[in-house]
Chains A and B, each alone.
Chain A
Amino acid sequence: MTPGPLPLAAATVFVALLITAASAYFARVELPRPPIGTYQRSDIVVMSVILIVAPLGYLSLPRDVVATIFGVVMLSAVQLTLAPFIGGRAALASGVVLCGATAAAWLLHRPGLTAGLNDAVLTIAVVGVANLWAQGGIRAGQLAAFAFLLTGYDLVATGLTTVMTRFATEVQGLPFAPVLVIAQGRAPVSIGLGDLLMLLLFPLTAAKAFGRLAGQVAAVAGIAVTAVVALLFWLNVLGTTVPLLTVLGPVIVGQYLLWRRLGRRERSVLEWRSGAPVVTAPVDRLAVLEAAGRVVLDMGVTEGTWVAIDRDRVVGTGPSPGLAHRSARRNGHGAVPVVRQA
């Protein structure tokens, strides 16, 4: 049955709100990080392997065990997200209450309440995890590579095989299921955690790497992808489970390539936090040195003397580079000059 326009529009609006929330969190909250460690190529490989193997593993595990594993992961993510606002202990207590209520609703066979609480848990968790990755320094290039791998995987796991469909069926109704449920019933509307994470993560990473504009473009692109897919559902062009990443992945890769083609270099977290410009006019050091080399020296400057030069004039002289610099300073020249020997 075709989902109604309202839940489909709600899904798009919800994605937009989540991206806004994640961006606000990104701008205001600094998450803790381990003493050392940066994202490496091996991390992308490990995450991809986990992503591929995990659903297969879950399919072979009892539902209770799967729910418990997801519960522990979600509790950690909720605690991580809330801790900067209310402190570690209060965040843990809030997480326990929220996750406990979700589990209780499931045990009491209240599917609607379970889904609602699960959405609350998932919303908080995904904002925190996306920030953890982005603030942890994942590079836009690494994320684009990850998106590329996931596109292929999603195409196979969701489009060509039944792995994800079976996984979705297996976790349906479970507490802490990695699925954000917008509408239940005969025409359900939901978004998978992986899709949601990439929708939130790329705008943050793009903003960090290439500047605010890149972040805004990524956010709009993510919302547009969600809206287009929703529209296609409503128009009955799509009638079954759609691997969203097969559309989102190429959009992410395309944006990355676009910014690189436009000459933007990736900023580090340090540069992003210090507000370093994304396009830096390269300092033409050669020109500075060449200009110093071209300065014609006074006839009075004997061979072997060191001269301190600022742009096109001699500001000091001495028998060594250091003494020429000191001479420049004594002549009232504060900046460090270029030195050369006559």
Chain B
Amino acid sequence: MFGSAFNQMRYGVDAVLGRVRPEVLTRISRDLVATLDEFGAPGDDSALLPGQQGAVDPEVRRTMTTRSLRATARSATRTAYYRQLFEVSGVRPEELTLESWQQQVPVTPKRALRGMPAAFVSPQSNPVLMASTTGTTGSPTTVWFSADELEIIVALSTVAFGITEGLRPRHVIGHATSSRATLPLLVVAESTRRIGAALVQLGTIDPALALERLAAPLNLPGKSPQITMLTGSASYLAALVAAAERDGWKAADFGLESIQVGGEVLTEALRLRAQEAFGAEVSSAYLMTEIMPVGAAYCTERHLHYPAEFGHVELLDPQTLEPAAPGAIATLVITPYSQYRRCTLLLRYVTGDLVRVPETAPTCEFADILASSDVIGRFSGPLSLDVPTRSVLELLESERAVPLPARYSLVEDRGGPLLHVAVDRATPALLGRLEDRATLLGLPLAGIVLHEDVADLPTTVPLRADLREHTFELSARNNTLTGSRT
């Protein structure tokens, strides 16, 4: 008790002074795990724990934000990229205010980080892990992390798994993301271990095999009989739903209690189909490798809220990069604070993720925390604003005749955006249903074109579900092995 109180006090003081010690956060996460073992849940005021959306007085938050931004800018001057940039633009970190931050500090485009990751690494840090994005939008972006940062991220993740996800020692996580996604795998594995739960690294194997593993009895002491929590990308979940619907799996075959999706847009249509197929609650949160540990969580009114604790979030017009107006589409521009990030430093990083700014001020339980709509897609030009990914996926994933994960291509035609969709059987009835629903959703499409061969699509959008990992199980089962080298 005394030790826990002391650690929380130290963390608070460290955060104010601008230097968070990883070992203190680790102790807090250990105390949380012990608390969960003893009481089953955290006590009152758990919102005050790191990363738990605690309410802060606006004036105090303003002061803290200014101080954190100055400290982060000061740290960034040690990197090759920002030292040069600050010299050219005349930025003086000590004089920055919240207002001058937007006016003076240039945004950092993704291509700058992708082009030279080392230019963003502080020479005072010791990089130990290179994390790469999946590169679905082109070549992967790499980010270097130090040991301290990893410790901080794991500790915060342990707190989030324990409180937000309700992970307990009896649970078994099936982690269905690419095994090459090192950072998420490392964080999930270590957080799971600290809580005492179990981890099954499924990877992104053939969905039919993944379903078999999810349904497999485990017969382990102190653990649920089957995998209880599934983590993965939305497109891979879509592939699992398709396989479950196709192969006659029932929700009763699985022991899933929750499904946590990240990295891609999770539509309401897919959420409902996955709940039906697996009998588990499906939820998502906003996280991104480059800006860790900054993230966002949903309130009961389905806003995404961005706690000010780990970084500064701006909602900017995707084209002008000026503050977006209420109701407009914005791109998330994020600065992770140097209290939590010491290796790769990023100021005003343009994530490219699109959200909508709320028309009116939210009145939900997190009303005083910056909010936006759900992520609606990724900026790739004006077409991505006119017809956002979420709208297209809501249209396609609610139609059961469209195979999951939905494959489509959006091209600008003379009459407007034309939506090309891959389907099993291109029938007039299906086309009519899609057109009617597109009108209902208010999609400004010039038309919809169905293709029975995915290769006929003008372009293809890469999905995380395509990062398929091979196993020998199915081929061995089908006796298709033609030889052996052993």
Contact = CB atoms under 8 A, between A and B. Distances in A.
Interface of A: 32-40, 42-43, 46, 136-137, 268-270, 273-274, 285, 288-289, 308, 319-323, 325-326, 329, 334, 336-339
Interface stretch (B206-214, B274-282, B355-363, B447-455): B206-214
A288 B218 CA distance: 13
Nearest to B478: A319
Contacts of B37: 38, 268, 270
Contacts of A43: 1-3
A325 B1 contact: no
Given A336-B225, A339-B219, A36 B212 contact: no
A270 B39 CA distance: 5
B12 to A, nearest CB: 13
Contacts of A273: 40
A140 to B, nearest CB: 13
Interface string B291-315: 0000000000000000000000000
A308 B225 CA distance: 13
A323 B32 contact: no
B406 interface: no
A289 B212 contact: no
A42 B34 CA distance: 15
Considering residues A37, A38, A274, A336, which has the most beta carbons from chain B within 10 angstroms of its beta carbon?
A37
B33 to A, nearest CB: 9
Given A35-B48, A268-B37, A325 B4 contact: no
Contacts of B43: 32-37
List the 4 closest A-B pairs by CB distance, nearest first: A322-B212, A37-B4, A322-B215, A321-B216
Contacts of A35: 8, 35, 42-46, 48-49
Interface stretch (B175-183, B186-194, B233-241, B250-258): B250-258
A38 B35 contact: yes
A34 B3 contact: no
A33 B213 contact: no
A281 to B, nearest CB: 15
A42 B217 CA distance: 42
B69 interface: no
Contacts of B477: 319-320
B253 A33 contact: no
A289 B221 CA distance: 11
A323 B212 CA distance: 6
A147 B43 CA distance: 27
A320 B473 contact: yes
A40 to B, nearest CB: 6
B229 interface: no
Given A274-B40, A338-B219, 15 more contacts: A34-B43, A35-B42, A35-B44, A37-B3, A37-B4, A38-B37, A38-B38, A40-B1, A42-B2, A42-B3, A43-B1, A43-B2, A269-B39, A273-B40, A320-B473
B217 A321 contact: yes
Main secondary structure of the interface of B (DSSP, over half): helix
Contact of B253 (A137, A288, A325): A325
Contacts of B435: none
A33 B39 contact: yes
Interface in B1-50: 1-5, 8, 28, 31-32, 34-35, 37-40, 42-46, 48-49
B161 interface: no
B38 A34 contact: no
A274 B250 CA distance: 32
A320 B8 contact: no
B31 to A, nearest CB: 5
A318 to B, nearest CB: 8
A136 B212 contact: no
A43 B5 CA distance: 11
A339 B31 contact: no
Contacts of B214: 322
A326 B252 CA distance: 9
A137 B1 CA distance: 10
Nearest to A326: B253
A339 B216 CA distance: 8
B279 to A, nearest CB: 13
B46 A320 contact: no
B226 interface: yes
B162 to A, nearest CB: 9
B44 A136 contact: no
Contacts of A42: 2-3
B461 to A, nearest CB: 31
Contacts of B2: 42-43, 46
A38 B31 contact: yes
B249 interface: yes
A325 B45 contact: no
Interface string B382-425: 00000000000000000000000000000000000000000000
A326 B215 CA distance: 7
B400 to A, nearest CB: 22
Interface in B237-293: 249-250, 252-253, 255
B45 A322 contact: no
27 contacts: A34-B4, A34-B45, A35-B8, A35-B42, A35-B43, A35-B45, A36-B28, A36-B43, A39-B1, A40-B3, A42-B3, A43-B3, A46-B2, A269-B38, A269-B39, A270-B38, A273-B40, A274-B40, A321-B215, A322-B215, A322-B216, A323-B215, A325-B253, A329-B253, A336-B226, A337-B217, A339-B217
A62 B328 CA distance: 68
A180 to B, nearest CB: 26
A329 B39 contact: no
Considering residues B34, B42, B211, B215, which has the most beta carbons from chain A within 10 angstroms of its beta carbon?
B215
A43 B37 CA distance: 18
A43 B31 CA distance: 13
Interface in B63-106: none
Nearest to A340: B219
A32 B44 contact: yes
A37 B215 contact: no
B35 A36 contact: yes
A308 B249 CA distance: 17
A270 B37 CA distance: 8
B42 A36 contact: yes
A54 to B, nearest CB: 15
A339 B3 CA distance: 45
